[in-house]
Every structure is written in C-alpha cells, then in structure tokens.
Structure 1
Amino acid sequence: MTESTSSTRVVRGSHRAAGLLTLVEAVAVLGFTGFYVYEMVTGATEDLTRAATSGALILVFGVGLLALARGWARAADWPRTPTVLWNALLLPVAWSLQESGRTPVALAVAVVAVASIAAAVSAPGRRDATDDAAERTGDPDDAQGRGPGGRIS
C-alpha cells in the first residue's frame, strides 16, 4: 500500500490548521482514556468491564485521530474525508451537551468541529496541487500530469 503523498507536496496553512485541530481532538480523546484508566486503578468505577471497554474504544479513536493528524502534517490527501466525517459527528454531540446545560463545553466542541471541517475542506487535494503546478509553469499539460508530447511524466 502506498501513501498518497509526494516529496514535492507542500504543507499549506490549511493542512497545518487541520492537523493541529485534529491533534487537539486526539489529545482530548486520549485524556478520556486516561480518565477511564484512573477510574479502574482507583476502584471508582462500579463496572470494571464497562470502563475497560469504553477506555479501549476511546483509545482506538484517539490513535485514529493521531494518524489523521500525522497525515495532515505530511500533506496527504486521505485524511480529508475521515476528518470531515469525525467532526460532522461531533456536531450532534455539541448539541447534546448544550441541551444538558454544558454550554461552554458544547461551544468549544462545536467551534473546534466547524473549524476542523473548514480546514479539511479548504486544504488542497491532489487535483488542486497539479493545477497549481500548471499555474507555476504556465504549461497546461502539467495540470493533467503529462509532460511534453502528451506523455505521462
């Protein structure tokens, strides 16, 4: 399996923003994993199995978010869809938090989710990068990934 990055890919501001916001989310989610571990170690939980299962599931999501942040740092194309999906799922979470009277937390979750979606959507993809190459060189063949004579380079 090959990674969809190239050594000539430029990490832009939108990649950095998406990566940083995803990293913040990963740290928050991993913090919840730490909370479950703390509950299990101190005996504060009544159901050890539920705490262990919840902690493990949250750990999986945290590691996944770290992978997304790494992909954004490398200007990869693949993190866009999972980032948008994850943050779209956070919007109902923010609404639920607001309904339960946790408005400051709800606002923080909503702001980070919307900012992450905006950064992910605005990050240039593979096609945008080839269009940029065509603009830099002035050669419309570059936009198609073709070199002189119409051959793929």
Structure 2
Amino acid sequence: MTESPSPTREVRGSHRAAGLLTLLEAVAVLGFAGFYVYEMVTGATEDLTRAATSGALILVFGLGLLALARGWSRAADWPRTPTVLWNALLLPVAWSLHESGRTPVALAVGVVAVASIAAAVSAPGRREPDASDGASDGRGDVS
C-alpha cells in the first residue's frame, strides 16, 4: 500500500525546515552508528557487546529520524509530537556537553534542537471543525 499526500496539503516552509533539520539530525546519529561499526571492525572497542548494543540502538533512532524527515517532506501531521519530544530530550544533552567543556558542540546541538522545535510547532496542521468554528450541530441558532 502506498502513501499518497493529501491533495489539499502543501509542503510549507516550516515543514521543509523541520524536515531538513530532522534529516540533519538523522545523518549525525547514523554517523555515530557507523562509528560504532568502525570500532567493532577495527577492534578499537574493549567491549564488543556494548558497542554492538549501542550501535544497534543508535541505528534504530537514526532510522526513526529518517522516517520523521520523510513525514515532514510529505506535510504529514504525525511527525510533530515525536520531533518536539526528540528535540526536547536533546536540550539536557546540550547542557551536559556545555558542562563537560564541549561548548561549541553544545551550542550546535542546542541551536538545532530549538530550531527544530520551533519549526515543528509552527508547521500548520489539520484542523477538525468544531462548534466554535461555527459548524452546525443541527440545533439551529437561538440568539
């Protein structure tokens, strides 16, 4: 079954921004997974099990981020919450990097996280009609 974009939905700037930032994060995370593979192949790791487990977990997150980026590129609504959640979890990571003396990396992580949250929140979503929109509930106006 193929997923077709809704004909009434258009990819807007905020969708593109959220998608590109999520794609950037996915590439970075998949790079870390590749680093673990490199460590295992070259024998640079002392604990093969830990490296394999960490690499597999990071790979899962990278693939999830790729799925989010694809959703954003199709102007879907579902990527909003996981994108905000993922990037909210990156903020303490940025703070920890800052406290450990890696301020340039911390700034990069923090800026991308905040920009991703802003893009995700500002992306227009579907709105279901409700009573406050003036939709008729069948009872007529009594004013």
Q: Same fold (TM over 0.5)?
A: yes
Structure with greater contact order relative to length (CA < 8 Å, sep ≥ 6): 2
Residue 123 (structure 1) aligns with: 123
Whole-angstrom CA distance in 2 between matches of 1:125 and 1:8: 12
User: CA-to-partner distance for each residue in 1:75-127, whole Å, 9 max, x for gaps?
Assistant: 00000000000000000000000000000000000000000000000000001
- The correspondence of residues 51-66 of structure 1 with structure 2, limited to 5 A, is 51-66=51-66
Residue 103 (structure 1) aligns with: 103
Contact 1:22 1:68 in 2 (8 A): yes
Gaps of 5+ in 1: 131-139, 147-153
Contact 1:12 1:123 in 2 (8 A): yes
Question: Are positions 1:73 and 2:73 aligned together?
Answer: yes
Whole-angstrom CA distance in 1 between matches of 2:94 and 2:28: 14
Residue 27 (structure 2) aligns with: 27
Residue 8 (structure 1) aligns with: 8
- Supply the AA of the counterpart residue of 1:63: L
The alpha-carbon deviation at position 8 of structure 1 amounts to 2.1
The alpha-carbon deviation at position 5 of structure 1 amounts to 4.8
Residue 139 (structure 2) aligns with: none
SS in 2 for 1:27: helix
Gaps of 5+ in 2: 137-143
Q: Structure 1 stretches (4+) deviating beyond 4 angstroms?
A: 1-5
Contact 1:5 1:77 in 2 (8 A): no
Contact 1:4 1:77 in 2 (8 A): no
TM-score, L = length of structure 2: 0.87
SS in 1 for 2:127: helix
When the two chains are superposed, the root-mean-square deviation of aligned CA atoms in Å is 2.3
The alpha-carbon deviation at position 7 of structure 1 amounts to 2.4
The count of residues paired between Structure 1 and Structure 2 equals 133
Question: Which 10-residue stretch deviates more, 119-128 or 40-49?
Answer: 119-128
The alpha-carbon deviation at position 56 of structure 1 amounts to 0.1
SS in 2 for 1:18: helix
